[in-house]
Structure 1
């Protein structure tokens, strides 16, 4: 069975957190063309958000970058998709500042999460906050930032494809 994951990218997304996780479909949000990331790297999404059915994927991934995180937190469409994924038990994976979208859309309340330290104060009452580099709480994976992007991506693979697939990936990439 083919497993499909969707990464959503918008202006201000953090480059490493986007690129390291994108052996998947990359959907441009609020853009019909190239997206300028947080450090001015330009990424061309595979498809426009309006052209996809986000519920046809097995995982929904939001990269960080403060401007992207704010866009995701303020988006009705992202909120609806997050709620549908949570209700159906599908994997939600969010990194860096983008867990603010979880708080804004009331996703994963009471569960363990982590985030970039700059937004950690947003979660103290709604979640069980951790300073771990990657937190996997069932179908909700969160991570801290660019320095944890490989660990985050591997945890997504572990959840979707299992430990043997993670082991296949680690060796040729020279990861620990």
Structure 2
């Protein structure tokens, strides 16, 4: 086969991979836990997932829980025009989680995501936003330990687990900063397969 033909086929392969890349939307609100946000965004990108960061409520510079400032890509109104996303990711941090819980736009996106059978992933205190919007009723989940009782209060029927990452159908939850790599790799595995997740973990010198 000629060199030009090989180059053409390689370009076609790269184009196909780009077109078929899974898409992730990550919410970012004031008070978000920056480790959980950055690790999730970074690991997903390493896993070949196209990541969009949306500010809640606006596309302004976001001050995270430890003072790190991050600029979102788009505001949430614009993000809503880009659906569908293969996964919506909610980082923790109490302030950020409360902002997501209070956002009508977040609720609408999450409800549409769940109704369509696509993935939703929340870590640390972020499952509180799932509860606020009536998401994942009756599902197995986990969270940061201090919000466990608040999650279980009410009639949502959550089944609480103490594992690092809990997956129940299309719902993925995790516990906190120390489990952020496990959380992000679990999302990569769901979207791109176990082999890809292992490849990403190996590149970061992590076990998967």
Alignment correspondent of 1:11: 30
Partner of 1:151: 182
CA contact under 8 A between 1:6 and 1:59: conserved in structure 2? yes
User: Which whole-Å CA distance do the structure 1 matches of 2:146 and 2:122 have between them?
Assistant: 15
Give the C-alpha shift of residue 123 in structure 1: 2.4
Asked whether the equivalents of residues 59 and 73 of structure 2 are also in contact (C-alpha less than 8 Å), the reply is: no
CA root-mean-square deviation: 1.1
Give, in angstroms, the shift of residue 50 of structure 1. 2.2
Kindly indicate whether residue 52 of structure 2 is the aligned counterpart of residue 21 of structure 1. Answer: no
Deviation of 1:118 (Å): 1.0
Residue 83 of structure 2 aligns to a residue whose secondary structure is helix
Q: Which has the higher helix share?
A: 2
User: Which stretch of structure 1 is more off in the superposition, 52-61 or 129-138?
Assistant: 52-61
CA distance in 1, matches of 2:114, 2:87: 11
Deviation per CA, 1:19-69, whole angstroms, max 9, x where unpaired? 011121111112332110000001111222222225221110000000011
Distance 1:47 1:40 in 2: 21
TM-score by length of 2: 0.82
Question: Which consecutive residues of structure 1, in runs of 5 or more, have no partner in the other structure?
Answer: none
Partner of 1:40: 67
Q: Is 1:68 the counterpart of 2:87 in the alignment?
A: no
